[in-house]
């Protein structure tokens, strides 16, 4: 691989100060674009040229074998000895074995139980002790929160079930603000935790139970558990028929497709949820069959590798021009950075190149009035990934949507084209400026341009389209991980902080807690003083 990385870096160097705009011939807009089931990914506004694309595609050579191993249920999560089969949750008609056992009957059975339960809650067949369920509170964190929280907001136009709330932070403010105003007698609490040991989730679950117990005679009856640890859910007092289980081959950040998606299913109904699954399955089918140059996850991944590992841009911005995708950047932060933020390869050796970039973003047009200044005129280019639907869900407000889309296209055009010093000078001259003042003012109004961006375009943000997009990003992470040699499915980097938090807790309580560094001890002392 080293030689190939070097050839790519040399190719980039040889491009020198060449401009993206200059790459456009009559065909580029169509050639540097990939389509799958109504989704279009345009990467023409980048410095990827024919030579770069050929080399990048060479980098992707190991992907197909690894992809097939993943879909076949092989234990490709080698550091945890697990298969990686979240894809089975969205391909209910499929068949796949792990350790010689067909996993699909159990997946289908759980999916049917979820659908039955969701239907009962939605039609009143399952009620709280004070009547029909009006509110659902999902308690979970990380992958047990971000997926459903992102998707429930994204699919707001399809939301016809109970109100849905999400509590994740151990900060008591989160659960206090959420429960305020809710009626315990008509609230369903979902405890979502793959391990059923995560301290934030278990602390919030206990607080919710105390809150419920103060008002209803049987608090446990309005609790549901989503977990791989059925016995722990039983210990918490949740009856077996309200525990929806899954297997360890579903990673937390890949789990929205199964039981962890129950809050989404309750919100939009089993049918729309199945459409979400169908979108994910369609993206998987495309990923498995399309040739690499026409493969959406592969080309999205290669664009990411080009910008981060080859061009050296340290971050990438995800900019949905869709207010309902507000939580997508946070969701992608976990998906991408927990998966590919690693420093060693699968075999324990140091990575050959830098690992995954920092991912961040906000919906447009809001971001335009906040951080786009830096994106346009800061010294470090930020590759931007725009996401846009051709149509909104508010036909009466179509003029808003046209403005939204115009802003999205205008930003990518402005980033690429920029504004030259001559153009800026002409503007200043037109305002009557001259001499040194004209020069000074003009320089502030120069946009260097040549800043790369991609655009992901869909017709409308439907449950199917959302499923496609989420699966697309999952598979992009997979492709980048394979190319970097990373295991994208473990997360050892979150452990140390969790362990130390348990050791710092006694320090804050004023108990003996040896072995901490002087700064931590001093800060804990200050906190104790301030608390009085």
Alpha-carbon distance 132 to 375, whole Å?
49
Catalytic pick among 13, 369, 399, 431: 369
Sole binder of ligand F6P in the list 194, 307, 425, 476 (CB under 6 A): 194
**Minimum distance from CB of 252 to ligand F6P (Å)?**
3
Which candidate, 204, 193, 300, 328, places its Cα nearest to that of 250? 193
Q: Is 232 a catalytic residue?
A: no
**Minimum distance from CB of 193 to ligand F6P (Å)?**
3
Burial-class residue 415 by CB neighbours within 10 Å (0-12, 13-18, 19+): buried
Q: What sign has the CA pseudo-torsion 219, 221, 222, 226?
A: positive
Closer to ligand F6P by Cβ: residue 3 or 502: 502
**Minimum distance from CB of 139 to ligand F6P (Å)?**
10
* 22 near ligand F6P, judged by CB under 6 A: no
**Minimum distance from CB of 498 to ligand F6P (Å)?**
7
Which candidate, 77, 70, 194, places its Cα nearest to that of 141? 194
Closer to ligand F6P by Cβ: residue 35 or 195: 195
* 491 near ligand F6P, judged by CB under 6 A: yes
Per-residue three-class SS string for 346-390: CCCCECCCCCCCEEECCCCCHHHHCCHHHHHHCCCCCCEEEEEEC
**Minimum distance from CB of 143 to ligand F6P (Å)?**
3
* 487 near ligand F6P, judged by CB under 6 A: no
* 86 near ligand F6P, judged by CB under 6 A: no
Sole binder of ligand F6P in the list 128, 142, 467, 481 (CB under 6 A): 142
* 261 near ligand F6P, judged by CB under 6 A: no
- The window from 139-147, 161-169, 175-183, 425-433 that contacts ligand F6P (CB under 6 A) reads 139-147
Segment 324-363, which members bind ligand F6P (CB under 6 A)? Answer: 338
Sole binder of ligand F6P in the list 15, 35, 40, 195 (CB under 6 A): 195
Q: Which residue has the tokens 């495309």?
A: 286
**Minimum distance from CB of 404 to ligand F6P (Å)?**
32
Alpha-carbon distance 212 to 60, whole Å?
53
End-to-end Cα distance, the chain: 59
Q: Is 159 a catalytic residue?
A: no
Sole binder of ligand F6P in the list 77, 110, 144, 186 (CB under 6 A): 144
Residues contacting ligand F6P: total by CB under 6 A: 14
Per-residue three-class SS string for 79-119: CCCECCCHHHHCCCCCCCEECCEECHHHHHHHHHHHHHHHH
Sole binder of ligand F6P in the list 22, 29, 410, 494 (CB under 6 A): 494
* 148 near ligand F6P, judged by CB under 6 A: no
Catalytic pick among 400, 498, 503, 509: 498
Q: Is 498 a catalytic residue?
A: yes
**Minimum distance from CB of 261 to ligand F6P (Å)?**
13
SS3 517: coil
Segment 30-59, which members bind ligand F6P (CB under 6 A)? Answer: none
Q: Tally the C-alpha atoms within 13 A of residue 243's C-alpha that lie toward its C-beta.
A: 20
CA distances from 109 to 116, 191, 224, 234, 352 (A): 11, 20, 17, 20, 44
Residue 128 near residue 258, CB atoms below 8 Å:
no
Sole binder of ligand F6P in the list 198, 263, 333, 455 (CB under 6 A): 198
**Minimum distance from CB of 321 to ligand F6P (Å)?**
28
Catalytic pick among 338, 362, 385, 480: 338
Give the rounded distance of the alpha carbon of 239 from its chain centre.
32
CB environment 166-194: b (16+ within 10 A), e (fewer): bbbebeeebbeebbeebebbbbbbbbbbb
Alpha-carbon distance 200 to 169, whole Å?
6
What are residue 137's DSSP bridge partners? 165, 189
**DSSP for 401-454?**
HHHHHHHHHHHHHHHHH-B-HHHHHHHHHHTT--HHHHHHHHHHT-B-----EE
* 253 near ligand F6P, judged by CB under 6 A: yes
Sole binder of ligand F6P in the list 201, 333, 368, 412 (CB under 6 A): 201
SS3 34: strand
Sole binder of ligand F6P in the list 252, 258, 304, 329 (CB under 6 A): 252
Residue 261 near residue 223, CB atoms below 8 Å:
no
**Minimum distance from CB of 398 to ligand F6P (Å)?**
39
* 168 near ligand F6P, judged by CB under 6 A: no
Closer to ligand F6P by Cβ: residue 406 or 494: 494
Q: Provide the binding-site residues for ligand F6P, judged by CB under 6 A.
A: 141-144, 193-195, 198, 201, 252-253, 338, 491, 494
Where in the sequence numbering do the catalytic residues fall? 338, 369, 498
């Amino acid at each position: 691989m080293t030689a190939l990385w070097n050839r790519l870096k040399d190719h980039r160097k040889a491009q020198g100060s060449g401009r993206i705009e200059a790459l456009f011939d009559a065909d580029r807009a169509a050639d540097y674009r990939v389509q799958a089931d109504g989704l279009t990914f345009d990467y023409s506004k980048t410095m990827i040229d024919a030579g770069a694309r050929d080399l990048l595609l060479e980098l992707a050579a190991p992907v197909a074998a690894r992809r097939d191993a993943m879909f076949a249920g092989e234990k490709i999560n080698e550091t945890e000895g697990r298969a990686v089969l979240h894809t089975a949750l969205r391909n209910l008609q499929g068949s796949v074995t792990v350790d010689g056992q067909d996993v699909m009957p159990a997946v289908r059975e759980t999916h049917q139980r979820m659908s039955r339960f969701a239907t009962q809650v939605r039609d009143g067949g399952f009620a709280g002790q004070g009547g029909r369920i009006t509110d659902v509170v999902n308690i979970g964190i990380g992958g047990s929160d971000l997926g459903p929280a992102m998707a429930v907001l994204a699919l707001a136009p399809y939301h016809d079930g109970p109100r849905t709330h999400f509590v994740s932070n151990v900060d008591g403010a989160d659960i206090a603000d959420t429960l305020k105003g809710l009626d315990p007698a008509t609230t369903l609490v979902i405890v979502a935790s793959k391990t059923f040991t995560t301290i934030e989730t278990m602390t919030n679950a206990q607080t919710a139970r105390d809150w419920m117990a103060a008002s209803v005679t049987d608090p446990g009856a309005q609790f549901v558990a989503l977990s791989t640890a059925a016995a722990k859910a039983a210990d918490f007092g949740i009856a077996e028929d309200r525990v929806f289980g899954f297997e360890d081959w579903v990673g937390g950040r890949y789990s929205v497709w199964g039981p962890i998606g129950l809050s989404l299913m309750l919100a939009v109904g089993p049918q729309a949820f199945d459409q979400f699954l169908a979108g994910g399955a369609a993206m998987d089918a495309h990923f498995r069959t399309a040739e690499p140059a026409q493969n959406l996850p592969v080309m999205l991944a290669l664009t990411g590798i080009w910008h981060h590992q080859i061009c050296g841009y340290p971050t990438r911005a995800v900019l949905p021009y869709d207010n309902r995708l507000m939580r997508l950047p946070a969701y992608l932060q976990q998906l991408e950075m927990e998966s590919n933020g690693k420093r060693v390869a699968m075999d324990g050796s140091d990575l050959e190149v830098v690992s995954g970039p920092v991912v961040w973003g906000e919906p447009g047009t809001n971001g335009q009035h906040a951080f786009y200044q830096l994106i346009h005129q800061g010294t470090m280019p930020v590759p931007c990934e725009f996401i846009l639907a051709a149509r909104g869900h508010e036909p009466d407000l179509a003029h808003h949507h046209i403005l939204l889309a115009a802003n999205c296209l205008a930003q990518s055009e402005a980033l690429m084209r920029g504004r030259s010093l001559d153009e800026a000078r002409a503007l200043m001259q037109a305002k009557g400026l001259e001499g040194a003042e004209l020069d000074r003012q003009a320089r502030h109004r120069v946009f260097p341009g040549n800043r790369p961006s991609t655009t992901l375009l869909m017709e409308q943000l439907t449950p199917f389209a959302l499923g496609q997009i989420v699966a697309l990003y999952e598979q992009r992470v997979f492709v980048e991980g394979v190319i970097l040699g990373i295991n994208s499915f473990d997360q050892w980097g979150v452990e140390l902080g969790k362990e130390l938090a348990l050791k710092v807790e006694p320090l804050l309580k004023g108990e003996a807690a040896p072995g901490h560094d002087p700064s931590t001890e001093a800060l804990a002392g200050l906190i104790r003083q301030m608390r009085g």
